[in-house]
Structure 1
Amino acid sequence: MNSTDWKNKGKFVSVFNRNIFVIDEGSSEETLVILHGYPTSSFDYHKVLTELSKKYRVIIHDHLGFGFSDKPLDYSYSLIEQADVALQLWQQLGLKKVTLLAHDYGTSVATEIIARHYKKQINLQIDELILCNGSIHIEHSKLRLIQKLLKNKTTGKFVASLTNFPIFKKNMRNIYFDKTRVSDQELKEMWFQLENNEGRKVIHQLTNYINERYYFWHRWVGALKETNIPTKIIWAKNDPIAVPKIAKLLSDEIKNNQLIWIENCGHFLMLEKPEKWLQLILEKD
């Protein structure tokens, strides 16, 4: 699937006067909301959407600053505000109860939502939480050099301006276990969406999420320790960034969880092993 086809599947919803790109597919009474990763978009789920939407009404939006959503220069890009946007969007779509699935960057947005849920600050029933390969325990994450440079206040803007498709392609391929599982064309579609709306101008601001993971560590990890929401931890075992140790720690900390590994798989498990990932998402305990 190309970016144009994907864009045609979705719509734009105005949230806090910003245009948010949303995929809303399926007619089930069960709703699955998905929070995607960095630096990609909802397009990460193009291989699995059809099957997911047979069981769920599936709602995936591009976070502000990502994909086809607005990419304003005058914005904080705080994960706290990304949670505000997600919750407001879901409220506007009339959602009352959901299964919440998050990957990578999206896991931090999800943990902020779980923190608010635990403190009864939001009116949303979360029936199940599904966490996939995210550096929630940032102290154990193996950040790529480009991530370190982008999040740095001194080098970030300069590095962002120099970033191009060959650099992006190399960095993305390196986090796949089986490099043949991603084509140049697929990577071009991801890059096109990253560049959309002059996205390179904000990528260094987006990368500040890594600093927030340290700053809000106690709030977010603390929320996972307190929540009683049934949780599936579905983890690619060969992720060079969100390493297995993070999944094991989460499994030790979350009260009501099931840890399931996907072997011989890198960071983007829904793209590299879509059939296995789908099986684990859709099967009942």
Structure 2
Amino acid sequence: MDQEVLSGYKRINNTNVYYEFYPNQVSDKTIVLLHGFLSSTFTYRHLISLLRKQYQVLSLDLPPFGKSSKTNSYVYSYKNIAETVIKVTESFELQKMIFIGHSMGGQIVLNILHMREELADKAILLCSSAYLKRAKIPLILTSYLPYFHRFVKFWFARNGVKKNLQEALFNHSIINEEMINGYMEPFLQDEIFVALTRMIRDREGDLPRKILKQIKTPCLLIWGEHDKSIPLKFGEKLKQDLSNSELIVLRETGHAIPEERPSEIFEYIKGFLETNPAAADH
């Protein structure tokens, strides 16, 4: 019989956060999954099917993405999103979690490690966003123009979901209708583009090196060799700045590694979680 999944919404920080919770009575480990920019829990569907058999899993749609609320009143800063994630985990009374973040989700994980290091047992960063600066002032000012969200929508439509997937994947043969529709669905309403406009203003830059060097949580970095969105050089730099980290490079793989390499990622995660944290601390 298939294990149960609890899905729904948590009202946190004046917004509705969509979650999928996969309880596992025999595991003492809870994995929290945070997706990347323009993505959702959907990106983890293959990995979830593997993880849930051995661990308890909580996957969130980070505001304003996926099924979570899209509002102009929420502050879409990394700090506030990280605080929102923390409050969701507290509502489930979770402790000593393993945080997994892909792309932008990795930067949210790093913010959580910086703010509340005691919450995390370990962390896994999949092609994590790092070293990005804040949006430039002219763009922020332009975002206040009436109907600016229509320009955001036009940009997204022009790029197209299929083209974005081709950029994110090394192996284009795995692109199918299910994948295209899954990534496109949250962008069929105008509200998401209003929220993305607000995010342009609210998003601060990625954590500076000074703060990264203070993070002591054991971190596993997994990168695609051919990542065009966040090239491997950023993973190598992150490994230097995170004192308790190791880097694994997946050959013939792009940015969307949960899509391309779920089985390999699962094996690396399992190995990482089964090692003694003290032994990894050099």
**Could you say whether these structures have the same fold, taking a TM-score greater than 0.5 normalized by the shorter chain as the test?**
yes
1:205 partnered with 2:198: yes
Distance 2:190 2:28 in 1: 34
Are 1:231 and 1:257, in contact at CA under 8 Å, matched by a contact in 2? yes
Aligned length: 260
Equivalence map 1:1-285=2 (5 Å) = 10-27=7-24, 28-118=27-117, 124-138=118-132, 153-154=141-142, 157-162=149-154, 163-164=156-157, 167-195=160-188, 198-208=191-201, 212-213=204-205, 217-218=207-208, 221-283=209-271, 284-285=274-275
CA spacing shift, 1:197–1:10, aligned 2, 3 Å: farther
Are 2:14 and 2:74, in contact at CA under 8 Å, matched by a contact in 1? no
Distance 2:232 2:201 in 1: 23
- Other structure's SS at 2:39 match: coil
Distance 1:264 1:177 in 2: 6
Distance 1:80 1:50 in 2: 30
- Other structure's SS at 1:55 match: coil
Per-residue deviation, residues 141-197 of structure 1 (Å, max 9, x unmatched): xxxxxx99xx65427634223232862321222221111122133111211023357
| Percent identity of paired positions between Structure 1 and Structure 2 | 22
CA spacing shift, 1:135–1:208, aligned 2, 3 Å: farther
Distance 2:198 2:265 in 1: 31
Per-residue deviation, residues 51-105 of structure 1 (Å, max 9, x unmatched): 1011211111111111001111222211111011101111111012101111111
**Given residue 77 of structure 1, which amino acid in structure 2 is its aligned partner?**
Y
- Other structure's SS at 1:69 match: coil
**Given residue 137 of structure 1, which amino acid in structure 2 is its aligned partner?**
Y
- Other structure's SS at 1:282 match: helix
Distance 2:266 2:236 in 1: 21
Are 2:102 and 2:127, in contact at CA under 8 Å, matched by a contact in 1? yes
Are 2:161 and 2:183, in contact at CA under 8 Å, matched by a contact in 1? no
Poorly superposed stretches of 4+, deviation over 6 Å: none
Query: If the length of structure 1 is used for normalisation, what is the TM-score?
Result: 0.83
**Structure 1 portions without partners, runs of 5+:** 1-7, 119-123, 140-146
Distance 1:264 1:255 in 2: 27
Are 1:37 and 1:104, in contact at CA under 8 Å, matched by a contact in 2? yes
**Structure 2 portions without partners, runs of 5+:** 276-282
Are 1:68 and 1:196, in contact at CA under 8 Å, matched by a contact in 2? no
Q: CA deviation at 1:40?
A: 0.8
Distance 1:51 1:86 in 2: 23
CA spacing shift, 1:22–1:248, aligned 2, 3 Å: same
- Other structure's SS at 2:160 match: helix
CA RMSD of the aligned region, Å? 2.5
Are 2:105 and 2:129, in contact at CA under 8 Å, matched by a contact in 1? no
Query: If the length of structure 2 is used for normalisation, what is the TM-score?
Result: 0.83
Distance 1:263 1:24 in 2: 32
**Given residue 59 of structure 1, which amino acid in structure 2 is its aligned partner?**
L
Structure having the larger proportion of residues in helix: 1
- Other structure's SS at 2:20 match: strand
